[in-house]
Chains A and B, each alone.
Chain A
Amino acid sequence: MVNGKRVDGRGVEDVRPMKIVARVLNDAEGSAYIEWGKNKILAGVYGPRECIPRHDQSLYRAVVKCRYNMAPFSGAEEHGRSGPNRRSKELSKVIKEAFENVIISENFPKTEISIFVEVLQSDGGTRCAAVTAAAVALADAGIPMKDLIGAVAVCKIDGQMAVDPGKEEDNFGESDMPIAFSPRTGEVLLFQMDGNLSREELSRGLELAKNASAKIREVQMEAIKKVYDEPKEDRFLLIG
C-alpha cells in the first residue's frame, strides 16, 4: 500500500469493477453471469423441482442445494482437476446456508431448489462473487426470497482494513474475511475469517463490508431491471 492507495490504485473502500448480466442460459430456470475484477463466474438455478433422492425431501419445505465448482482452466497457474475438492465442498456448504436464510422454502414442500455456480476464471474473492451472482439467478428464476443478498470480502493490508482484496492482496494480505449481508435487516448470513484482527479492526472490517454491499446491491438490481427494460427472446452468454 502506497500513499493510501493499493496496488491497483484503489482506495480502501473501493470495490473492483463489477458487471452482472442476468438471464444468460436457456435451460436453467434462472441464471446470471458476473465479472468482478478478473473473476468470471456463472450461476444457474433449477427449481422448485422434484427432490431427488427422495430421502432428502422435506414434507414442510423445499430443500436448498448448492454446488460451487471451479473449471480446470480457471486458475492462473496449473491445470486443475475437474470435480469437487474439499475447498469447493466447504464453499458449497456455506453458500447454501446463506441462501437457506432468505429463500422462502415453506412455499414448496417436498421439492428442491438447486444453485449451481461455475467459476470460469478466478481472481480472488470467488465465493463472494458466487453469492452475488447466485442471488441474481434466484431472483431471475422468481424464487421468493426475503432479500437480495450479496457478499464481499475484507482484508488487512499493511495494517489497514480494505474491502474486496484482489488476488495479490489475497495472497500477501494479513487477514481475509468474506461476509454476506442481508441489506434489508443488516444481518450477516455468511461469515468466515482467517488471520489476526484486533477488536477495532474487526469492527472496521464489518463497517467497510456493509457499505460495500449497498453498492453491490445496486449492480444486482440494475442487472435484474435490464432483463425487463430490454426484453430478449434469445439468451446467450456474451463475454468481454
Chain B
Amino acid sequence: MATLDLDRGMPGLQPEPSVIAPGHTPETVTGKISSIILARAPRWWYVAFGISFLVVMMFLTCVTWLFAKGVGIWGVNIPVGWGFAIVNFVWWIGIGHAGTLISAILLLLRQDWRTSINRFAEAMTLCAVACAGMFPVLHLGRPWLAFWLLPYPNTMGLWPQWRSPLIWDVFAVSTYATVSLLFWYVGLVPDLGTMRDRAKNRLPQVLFGFLSLGWRGSMRHWHNYESAYLLLAGLATPLVLSVHTVVSFDFSIGIVPGWHSTIFPPYFVAGAIFDGFAMVLTLVLPLRAAFGLHDFITERHLQAMAKVMLATGLIVFYGYVIEIFFAWYSGSHDERFMMYNRIFGPYKWVWWALIASNGLTPQLLWNKAMRSSPLVLWLVSMVINAGMWLERFVIVITSLTRDFVPSSWGMYRGTIWDWGTFIGTLGVFCSLIFLFVRFLPMISMSEMRTLTPGSGSHGSAEVAE
C-alpha cells in the first residue's frame, strides 16, 4: 500500500481514487455485505427474478420443442450449418472470461482493485459458462448422444476423433468450468464461515455451515486457504488463455474463408476479455446502485475496467483491420471475396454495426469524464456486448453463407426458436445471477477487509509489504 500511495503522491500524477471509500473498518465491510443476504430481499429483486424465471420457462419450452422436433426448428441449413447456437456459445464463453481473468491474473499481478469485483465476476463466469455449455449439446442433431464426445470405454471400442477441434473444445470448456468453479468456491469458504456465524436462522446456519467446510478462521486455515487460492489462481491463469484459444480453433482449423486464420487465438482472447469486462460492468453498475455498494465499487474500479476495455477493444479493432489487410495480402481470391462479402455483401449491415459498436464506441473511453460516468460506461458496455455478439455472427454465419463454390451460397435467418433459445439463456443467466446476489456474498468480505486501513495480513494486501 505504501508503495502505491507513494506512486499516487508523485508530482504530475493525479491521485487515483481509492479502491474502498474512506471510513470503512473490517466490521463495516462485513456488516454491509452480509446484510444484503441476511436482510429481507427488496421487492425489486422478486420482480426481477420473477421476470428472469419466466424467461427460463420460455427457454425450457424452446428446448423441449427442439428435442421433440429436431434442430430443424432453427434456421440452420446447408451451407450455414452453425447458426445462433454457436454464435451464442462463443459469446457466452467470451463473457465467461472476465471472471477468471479478474480473479486469477489480476491476483497474480497484484491488482488490489480486483477485490471488489472478483467474486461477482467469477460468479458471472460460472453462469456464463453454464449458458455456453448448453449450446454445443443443444445444437447437435442427436443431442442424446452428446456423451459420444467424451472418451469413455465402450463396447464399440471407439474413442472420440482427436483431430477434431470440437473434442479439444470439450476438454477446454469442461476444464475451465471445473477450475473456475473450484476457484470461486475456495474463495467463498471464509465468507461462508462469516455468513454461518452471522446468520440468525437455523436453515441458513446449517446451509452456510455445511458449505463452509468447517471454516474456523484459524491461522492454519488462513494459511491453507491462501496457498490453495494462489495455486488455483496459477492453474486458472493459463486456462483464461487456453479456453478461448481452443474455441477459436473451432474456426481456424476449418478451411472456410473467414475462419481459417492464424490471428484467431489472440483475437478471440482479447475479444473475450473485452466482452467479459463489458458484461461485468453491465451487471455491476445496476447492482451497485441497487444495493448501494458505491463504497466498495468505486470510481477507481470503473476507471480500471474501462481502461481494460479500451485496451482490449483496441486489440480487437486491430484484429478487424488486420483481417482486411491479410485478406488482401494473402492474394487468395477466396479470402478477398470473403472480406468483400463481409463489408459489401448481403450481411454488410452486421459488419458495419460491428465496426460501429466494437471499433468506434470504445473510443469514447479515451475520455476520463466518460470513463467516470456510470451511465456512459453502462451504455458503452451494453453496446459492446451486442457488438461482440455481432462479431461472432459475422465470423460464424457470414463466412459460411458464401464460401468456396458459388452454387452453394445461401442465406441464414434465425427463427423464433433461435431467438427464444438465445433470449432464454439470458434468462437463465440473469436468474442465476439474481440467486447469487441474493444468497451469497457478492463481494468478498474477507478480501475487502484487507483493504480497510490498518489491516495488512491477507490476500492482495501483500502488495503493501
Partners in one complex: no
